Amino acid sequence: MKTNKILIVDDEKNIRMTITQSLADMDVETDTAVNGEEALAKLKDTEFGLVLLDLRMPGMDGMQVLEELRKDRPDIRVVIITAHGTIESAVEAMKLGAVDFIQKPFTPKEIRSLVTKIIKRETLSEEKNKDYESCLELAKRSVADRHFESAAEHVRRAISIDSSRAEAFNFLGALYELQGDKVEAQKNYRAALSLDPTYKPAQHNLSRSAHVNPDADEKKILFDKDTKK
């Protein structure tokens, strides 16, 4: 699969232009769609490897596009773009293999960095890449392929390499939650917070999964690093 052929799906013209311009100096081809219907039509005609997909659009929304896309093209990588998405939407998107999220507003540097990471992720070798970061990237690739058990194995390997970092425990909690095991999910969210009480993804995941604070801001990535402290 060639992830360097990218479809940008967003009803906001300025977002489509920003992403297109941000990726202009990279070795990628881009095309755009203004809504879900146009996106699906283009996906039938062209072999895209990566879709940057707005979650909230008039008419067919991002989740509906993702569901239709998975019927015929389960191999395509998908980044969910959202300014409104909730954690519940993120869980549903992950079940369909959307492992990467980016929240509006984002900078050109952020979108370039994310696309670069996804492209590199596809070339990772399980035999050669055994460091902490690579294990997490391999886990994300497994989630994208909806191989959740394999993803959990990669995350556990990351924890065995470095058990002092919160991200892997939070990731493992998210994987347990995807499989309906809230008890183990919450154990891992708490483990992440014991390592870093300021780690916001785990804070939000634990709060939501325990129904402690349903009104909390849920515009957070389910397991990604939270760089905005």
Percent of the chain with pLDDT over 90: 63
Confidence of residue 83 (pLDDT cuts 50, 70, 90): confident
**Cross-strand pairs, 78:** 51
How confident is residue 3, by pLDDT bands cut at 50, 70 and 90?
A: low
Q: What are residue 5's phi and psi, to 5 degrees?
A: -110, 110
More confident residue, 99 or 160: 160
Asked if residue 184 has pLDDT above 80, the reply is yes
Polymer length of the chain: 229
How large is the average pLDDT for residues 91-118? 90
Residue 215's pLDDT is 39
- Please give the residue that has the higher pLDDT: either 229 or 69: 69
- Residue reference for tokens 């967003």: 10
Other Cβ atoms within 10 Å of 216 Cβ, number: 13
Q: Can you give the pLDDT at residue 214?
A: 40
Taking residues 74-98, report their average pLDDT. Answer: 79
- pLDDT (0 to 100) of residue 94: 84
Q: Give the pLDDT confidence score for residue 88 in this predicted structure.
A: 59
Q: In this predicted model, which residue has the larger pLDDT, 19 or 93?
A: 19
Asked if the model's pLDDT at residue 212 lies above 70, the reply is no
The DSSP secondary structure of 147-177, one letter per residue, reads: -HHHHHHHHHHHHHH-TT-HHHHHHHHHHHH
Is pLDDT at 14 greater than 90 in this prediction? yes
In the chain the domains, ranked by start, together with CATH numbers, are 5-121 (3.40.50.2300), 132-209 (1.25.40.10)
- CB-based burial label for 84 (10 Å; 0-12, 13-18, 19+): exposed
Task: Out of 53-57, 109-113, 148-152, pick the least confident.
Answer: 53-57
pLDDT tens digit sequence for 122-160: 999 988 888 999 999 999 999 999 999 999 999 999 999
Q: What angle do CA 45, 4, 72 make, to 5 degrees?
A: 40
Q: pTM for the complete prediction?
A: 0.84
